[in-house]
Amino acid sequence: MIKKVASFAKINLFLYVTGKRKDGYHNLHSLMTQIDLRDDLYIEFAQKELSISCDHPDVPEDESNLAYKAAVLFYQSLKTKVCEEKKGLSIEIIKRIPPGGGLGGGSSNAASVLMALNTYYKTPFSKSELMTLGLKLGADVPFFIFGYPAIARGVGEMLEKVAGLKFYHLVLCDPGVAASTAEVYKNIDFRLTANQKDNIKTGLNVTLRGQEFDVRDQMHNDLEESACRLYPEIKETKEEMAVLLQRKVYMTGSGSSLFALFSARENAEKGFELLLKKWARSKRKVFLSSFI
């Protein structure tokens, strides 16, 4: 039995780093939503062994792959819960989400594998239990299992649904460099992020009232300055995008992907075509997407 699973990307509409933890990680306050840019996973159940393949050269095809780790973790947890014998699984990833772009592709793949296995085994784990499993793999994995636009706090595991998020289309760009999450966090200048702390309560109060929420006035990313300092390509691409599209451009997650929002699909398509034409011979990749 082969099951095709859509594995969507995410963007951070705002991201504040609220402090460093004793365990070395950072506490966040972020608004995230999934977008329709996606990888496709082809999962074949009841195989003799666990295997993974991907059509992208920068994605590992061994036990270090998050989707592979998700399958191992699920089977380990399943065995302790219902005494089920471990079975093999074949996972093929058709990769469209740029790796190392702050779009959560690896975490989304892992979440998709957990949810597919949970369905196949007739839901041995509740959604909450599956999210707890996902957190062992990465801070963004619970969000993809959660399945709604959400305010994320802690390292990203404390999620609160956001109702009424206004729909947008977006033009997304991979500047051709993969940002190291660890390095970006390591180089945060907390003197700069401290100036943004007053905006956090405003953002939280507005987004959780329940009426339609237009995110444009709240958009910010504490990690952008660090990423642009470490990777000049991100800053250069952002500035050029802003000029070409005639609107503000934002970075998602720890980088390196950049995006601009559009209310009208027609305008987003025009911006997408413009960037495609301008950057046809560059290493930059451009995508047309939307909130889901």
Domain boundaries along the sequence of the chain: 2-161, 169-290
Looking at residue 199, what is its pLDDT? Answer: 55
| Candidates 39, 69, 95, 140; catalytic one | 140
Looking at residue 23, what is its pLDDT? Answer: 78
Widest pairwise Cα distance in the chain: 59
Amino acid at 248: K
CA distance 143 to 162: 12
Looking at residue 158, what is its pLDDT? Answer: 94
Residue keyed to tokens 């070409």 = 244
By CB neighbour count within 10 A (0-12 exposed, 13-18 middle, 19+ buried), where does 227 fall?
A: buried
Looking at residue 84, what is its pLDDT? Answer: 52
Question: Which residue from 16, 50, 46, 9 is spatially nearest to 31, judged by alpha carbons?
Answer: 16
**DSSP SS3 for 108:** helix
Q: How far is CA 257 from CA 11, 234, 238, in A?
A: 9, 8, 9
Query: Strand pairing partners for 51?
Result: 90
Looking at residue 19, what is its pLDDT? Answer: 87
Looking at residue 204, what is its pLDDT? Answer: 54
The CATH class that applies to domain 169-290 reads: alpha beta
pLDDT (tens, 9 = 90+) of the chain, 292 residues, equals 799 999 999 999 999 999 888 877 889 999 999 999 999 999 999 898 999 999 999 999 999 999 999 999 999 998 766 555 557 899 999 999 999 899 999 999 999 999 999 999 999 999 999 999 999 999 999 999 999 999 999 988 899 999 999 999 999 999 999 899 889 999 998 766 555 555 554 555 555 555 688 999 899 999 999 999 999 999 999 999 999 999 999 999 998 999 999 999 999 999 999 999 999 999 999 999 999 9
Question: Does the active-site annotation cover 283?
Answer: no
In angstroms, how far is CA 263 from the centroid of its own chain? 22
Looking at residue 209, what is its pLDDT? Answer: 55
Q: How far is CA 66 from CA 5, 141, 145, 169, 249, in A?
A: 16, 10, 15, 29, 30
CA distance 271 to 263: 12
CA distance 90 to 221: 37
Angle (CA) 185 186 187, round 5°: 90
Q: How far is CA 75 from CA 44, 106, 146, in A?
A: 15, 19, 21
Amino acid at 98: P
Question: Which residue from 9, 24, 52, 7 is spatially nearest to 181, judged by alpha carbons?
Answer: 24
CATH topology for 2-161 is Ribosomal Protein S5; domain 2 (3.30.230)
Question: Does the active-site annotation cover 10?
Answer: yes
